[in-house]
Structure 1
Amino acid sequence: MAGTTDASVTEREALDRAIADYLAHLQDIRRASTHTVVGYARDLAAAADYFAGHGIDDWRRVTAADMRELLAARHRGGARPTSLARLASAVRSFYVWRMRQGLSETNPAADVRAPKKPARLPETIDVDDLAAMLDATPADTLEVRDHAMLELFYTAGIRLAEAVGLDVTDLDLAAGEARVIGKGNRQRMVPVGSRAAAALKHWLTERPNLAGPGEAALFVSRRGTRLSRSSVAARMERWAISHGLPVHLHPHKLRHSFATHMLESSADLRAVQELLGHANIATTQIYTHLDFSHLARIYDAAHPRAHGEAEE
């Protein structure tokens, strides 16, 4: 950055005057909220600081390369991707106004994008920890239900909404599969491993003790009605705590664990994506030639709880 010389002060004052005119436009003409005006003022001041420190005293001299260097410098300084995106957006909007006023011919921020926020890797649970938790013996009717839910989540990698939406008639335990309705109302078949099938059979013998007359839902509450999403999540966490799982448990973590453990065992990304029912249409189109029998063979060979002795 340049030192505090008369020249740098002049440069910064020239940049500030232009910002002040734009902020007045936002406040008086556009009637923008105080929050918006303050945010734009802060981001544009940061840009002006950088440009003045690099000898740029006129917004018309700013280039796309200057904008990229600004964002790179802020990124190196520890600014988060969301902050950088907001800064780029503020400068872009500022130049849109300047061009409409005939004050600038181009928008140097038009095609400049901030670095993307790095994708968070989904959290998974160790196979042995999961096995120890799932091998626990249910203590009562509600725990029989919870155990069946947990086994189904892990055996099939289903979403919370898909599990809650299941009806008894969606299960075909003899065939080792279940029908679920995923995002976009898309129906798919998912495999049910032997341990999950045993847990579900146990639950089906206990279910009449809770289910209300005519209730179709596979998983029901103590009131006899379809179990809610929040109840599933709460009961899942309760089971994990009471049976010694060393990490927090929620339905989506089981789904991630299913996918991760399947990929580690099979390395068949296409089959796993089909089993998960991904909503991406391009992915769906790529894998439409895979039939359920192929997916079942991949599942039987790869899933850690697809086989083995299961207690009734």
Structure 2
Amino acid sequence: MTATRKTCRIQVHGPLQKHAEGFEAELLRLGFAPASIVNQFCLLAHLSSWLEAEGLRLGDLTVLQVDAFLVERKATRTALFTRKALCPLLGWLAESGVITAEAAGPPRAAEDPAVLVRFERYLLTERRIGVRTTSAYVVRVRRFLETHCPSEGFAKLSGADVTRALLDEGVGRAPASVKKFGYALRAFLRFCFISGELNRDLTGATMVIREPLPSLLPLGASAEQIGTLLQGCDRSTAVGRREYAVILLLIRLGLRAGEVAGMQLEDIRWRHGEVLIRGKGAKHECLPLPAEVGAAVVDYLMHARPADADLREVFCTVRAPRRALSSPGVWGIVTRACTRAHLEKFGPHQLRHSLAEAMVAAEVPLAAIGQVLRHDDPATTSNYARVDVVRLRQLARPWPAGGELS
């Protein structure tokens, strides 16, 4: 029995009744499986009946009302009671102009002060910081304002408040977490000073957080481990072809997870044999495209990428709704490959380290390694180019003959 015949048996009453047929067509266009279409149709029917029972009009739907519906659904249903489950329906209704974009989007903290809203806009537009990084900064600064802002108001903020916040953050948290909090706080205080939100520069109150010096031992995967990762990709399947192409990009070009996820179709310049990398800080640079990598990407595009994917990104999800592959999705590909290969789990950054260490072993100059990894600071490159332990052993002098350890 097809999904259409099954959905005909689902009774829809209320404001969404006249939109049911259009939503079903949208689900078919997005490539939803028949069982998923039925589940989404049941969700539409429940929302419609809830709106009718509450006496609400569809055009007046708000974020708070969506949350109220989800609370009611979680209490009465066993599945599809999250905002993520509602995304296909709410997104389609918003695109159709039936509800507002705000109602379809994630809830935003209503108590966010105006200075935090302006800080977010500053990071996105003037600093050109990525959306994910900006969101992380805003979350940390919001926590600072909620817990350490003086009762007299934000204008009375002092250096002592900033220092106390960092000290409190260090209780029970790893140094890396405290450093990220400090970075966000420093960026926020610098913004407040240059924009006139504060009449004094408090960035000096953000203490330098020291982490234990990292070991100089190699961090990347070995050549044998990399070979095992690639062999574990079943290239007879669509998922395997996608994973093989993604892992090759990480290994051969040393890309970051976000750079693989953000790669677009027009970024691959086949005639010139190069690919445009959309790197950190909105920097775009071209790298040569090795033939092996290009062949893997072509194989994915020709035989594995969904034909109905209306996206400019190269890599997308296998299951509907079709979405661009996210940075966490790239991490998932690598960690799943580690599990198949019976290796201790590591992420895409370890593959970036592997490329740097391989170039060190090939005696590539540090400056050239920095160009491949697209680093501005040579000190950053040195963190990737770890010491070659095998060569160090060759330099070790033998223990004097006849001596004994006491």
TM-score of the two chains, using structure 1 as the length reference: 0.50
Equivalent in 325, 350, 365 of residue 253 of structure 1:
350
The residue matched to 1:138 in structure 2 has which SS? coil
What's the counterpart of residue 120 of structure 1? 214
Equivalent in 265, 268, 271 of residue 168 of structure 1:
265
Instruction: Describe how 1:104-253 pairs up with structure 2 within 5 A.
Output: 117-121=211-215, 123-136=219-232, 137-208=234-305, 210=306, 212-222=308-318, 223=320, 224-242=322-340, 244-253=341-350
Instruction: Kindly indicate whether the alpha-carbon contact (under 8 Å) linking 2:370 and 2:378 is maintained by their aligned counterparts in 1.
Output: no
Instruction: Kindly indicate whether the alpha-carbon contact (under 8 Å) linking 1:184 and 1:279 is maintained by their aligned counterparts in 2.
Output: no
Deviation, structure 1 residue 187:
0.9
One-letter identity of the residue aligned with 2:231? D
One-letter identity of the residue aligned with 1:216? R
CA pair 154-221 structure 1, distance change in 2 beyond 3 A = same
Name whichever of 151-160 and 136-145 sits farther off.
136-145
Distance (whole Å) between structure 2 residues aligned to residue 231 and residue 217 of structure 1: 13
Distance (whole Å) between structure 1 residues aligned to residue 214 and residue 366 of structure 2: 19
Distance (whole Å) between structure 2 residues aligned to residue 194 and residue 119 of structure 1: 38
Distance (whole Å) between structure 1 residues aligned to residue 175 and residue 349 of structure 2: 25
The residue matched to 2:353 in structure 1 has which SS? helix
Equivalent in 357, 361, 369 of residue 264 of structure 1:
361
Instruction: Kindly indicate whether the alpha-carbon contact (under 8 Å) linking 2:264 and 2:314 is maintained by their aligned counterparts in 1.
Output: yes
Distance (whole Å) between structure 1 residues aligned to residue 273 and residue 213 of structure 2: 35
The residue matched to 1:266 in structure 2 has which SS? coil
Q: Greater CA radius of gyration, 1 or 2?
A: 1
Per chain length, whose mean CA-contact separation is higher, i.e. which structure has more relative contact order (CA < 8 Å, sep 6+)? 1
Distance (whole Å) between structure 2 residues aligned to residue 165 and residue 279 of structure 1: 21
What's the counterpart of residue 70 of structure 1? none
Deviation, structure 1 residue 158:
0.8
What's the counterpart of residue 34 of structure 2? none
Distance (whole Å) between structure 2 residues aligned to residue 278 and residue 182 of structure 1: 10
The residue matched to 2:362 in structure 1 has which SS? helix
**Offset from partner CA, 1:15-57 (integer Å, 9 cap, x none):** xxxxxxxxxxxxxxx9989x959x79xxxxxxxxxxxxxxxxx
What's the counterpart of residue 387 of structure 2? none
One-letter identity of the residue aligned with 2:251? Y
Instruction: Kindly indicate whether the alpha-carbon contact (under 8 Å) linking 1:125 and 1:254 is maintained by their aligned counterparts in 2.
Output: yes
The residue matched to 2:312 in structure 1 has which SS? coil
Instruction: Kindly indicate whether the alpha-carbon contact (under 8 Å) linking 2:261 and 2:324 is maintained by their aligned counterparts in 1.
Output: yes
Distance (whole Å) between structure 1 residues aligned to residue 209 and residue 337 of structure 2: 41
Deviation, structure 1 residue 124:
0.8
**Offset from partner CA, 1:173-215 (integer Å, 9 cap, x none):** 454321011112111112322322221111011244x254531
Distance (whole Å) between structure 2 residues aligned to residue 237 and residue 283 of structure 1: 25
How many residue pairs match? The answer is 187
Deviation, structure 1 residue 217:
0.6
One-letter identity of the residue aligned with 1:150? I
CA pair 247-216 structure 1, distance change in 2 beyond 3 A = same
Distance (whole Å) between structure 1 residues aligned to residue 297 and residue 285 of structure 2: 19
Distance (whole Å) between structure 2 residues aligned to residue 156 and residue 129 of structure 1: 17
CA pair 245-157 structure 1, distance change in 2 beyond 3 A = farther
Identity of aligned residues (%): 24
Distance (whole Å) between structure 2 residues aligned to residue 177 and residue 214 of structure 1: 24
Gaps of 5+ in 2: 1-156, 169-173, 177-206, 382-406
Distance (whole Å) between structure 2 residues aligned to residue 127 and residue 139 of structure 1: 24
**Offset from partner CA, 1:121-142 (integer Å, 9 cap, x none):** 4621111221232234424101
Deviation, structure 1 residue 246:
2.2
Instruction: Kindly indicate whether the alpha-carbon contact (under 8 Å) linking 1:141 and 1:206 is maintained by their aligned counterparts in 2.
Output: yes
Distance (whole Å) between structure 2 residues aligned to residue 115 and residue 229 of structure 1: 27
Q: CA RMSD in A?
A: 4.0
Distance (whole Å) between structure 2 residues aligned to residue 146 and residue 241 of structure 1: 13
The residue matched to 1:199 in structure 2 has which SS? helix
